[in-house]
Amino acid sequence: MIASDQVFADIAEQKETLWINDKYLPFSMVDAVCQLVVSDEDIEDTEKRLHRFAPYIRKCFPETEADGGLIESPLAEISSMKEALEKTYDAEIPGRFLLKMDSHLPIAGSVKARGGIYEVLKHAEDLALEAGMITEDDNYERFADEDMKEFFGRYTVQVGSTGNLGLSIGIMSAFLGFKVKVHMSADARQWKKDMLRSKGVEVIEYDDDYSKAVMEGRRQSDLDPSSYFVDDEYSVPLFLGYAVAAGRFKAQLEEKGITVDEDHPLIVYIPCGVGGAPGGVCYGLKRLFGDNVHVFFVEPTLFPSVLLGMASDRYNEVNVSDFGLTGMSAADGLACASPSGFVVRIDRNLVSGDFTVKDAILFDYMRMLKGTENIFIEPSSCAAFTGPVNINKYEAGREYLAKHGLDEKKLAASAQICWATGGRLVPDEIWDKYMNTYM
């Protein structure tokens, strides 16, 4: 592969690159197949469940008051950041430039608050319905009652994580009353471990990568009949929680007067780890906007596992070490050595391509966003900015734009979205450290 394809050669040499999906298809050709796996009805059912829980979330987490108990984030226009990126990197970023701030989602402060919290809520609902403690017609504020917490205390929730998924699962599960175990890989940040422990979560640390933490967490959970494992590599509920974002995002675009159609394309760049969050968001966006949305993932040069899983057609059987990639990434939330087999299969014909980015530039992007817009997001979130800066600089990017009719006129009428994935819960002392990190 390395000898026959420049993208693989770039990956092996830890160079930044852009892979364009060779199996990307018009949405009409894959719609029916995708619906067999995750249907519109599944997404609608997920949204209804989140609305049932809204009174509980609103009561217990006052920061969700403005959205009526729904866990949602702002969509911000970042024109000053756009100007700074263009000037600093000699780039041209046409159209409107916006930041989808899942970095600031309530409760867990990252995109994982969507899928992670949703799966925990669904599990809690399933247990409560089966035990006859609640019906779907009841007011779900009932979940805040002490007897419900005592009930959930009989059960354990476990998850493997590099950090942000562990925070969302740990915070929500512990709040409901579950016993919680979070298995964390070597890349996980200490402050995230400390925060989880402060919430009463048992944190189990590994001197190995994300895949090992997931494997061991799954094994331990399987040994306990009262334990439920949130499996980031294979979970449909997680995927659905992320997919719901698309409908809400569409409403935000409309509020800002942004049209999405053939003449007004939507181009979205999403940081990617194991693939669950970006995969679910991509799927939801394609279901709503079809061929008028173009979604690109972005991964660290040390951990381009989703790119490798798709480009090699080895899916979850690939590991970055197969290409000689080893070491630690500053983009801890994206440091996954192998991808989700479920996600890379369902998104194989949907995602437009995948950029890789070096760790060092993430801190430059972070400082620039803080300086221009006074917005802090985690370094891993800043991976998204490499897409709009570089898409026209790669020959493969220019060819993609030409092939899909994204000419100068359409790009000028486009909306380009960087999807920020984490940052709200970062402690002040860690921000100070990030701001002074130069690589």
pLDDT(439) > 90: no
Tens-place pLDDT, residues 56-82: 999 999 999 999 999 999 999 999 999
pLDDT of residue 386: 98
Tokens for 339? 């991808």
Helix 112-130 / helix 40-60 crossing angle, nearest 10 deg: 90
pLDDT at 32 over 90: no
Q: For 281-297, write each residue's pLDDT tens digit.
A: 999 999 999 999 999 99
Token pair, residue 300, equals 């660290």
Q: What is the pLDDT of residue 233?
A: 82
Cα–Cα distance, 315 to 311 (Å, whole number): 8
pLDDT above 90 for 208: no
CA distance 309 to 19: 12
Q: Please write the tens of the pLDDT for every residue from 375-415.
A: 999 999 999 999 999 999 999 999 999 999 999 999 999 99
Q: Is the pLDDT of residue 362 over 90?
A: yes
Same fold, 6-108+239-435 and 112-234: yes
Provide the residue ranges of all domains of the chain, joining segments of one domain with +.
6-108+239-435, 112-234
- Position 162 scores a pLDDT of 81
Average pLDDT (314-329) is: 92
Judged against a pLDDT cut of 90, whether residue 33 lies above it is answered with: no
pLDDT at 328 over 90: no
Global pTM reads 0.96
Give the model confidence (pLDDT) of 247-263 as tens digits. 999 999 999 999 999 99
Q: CA nearest 414: which of 93, 7, 139?
A: 93
CATH 3.40.50.2000 for domain 6-108+239-435, yes or no, is: no
Query: Does domain 112-234 fall into CATH 1.10.3730.10?
Result: no
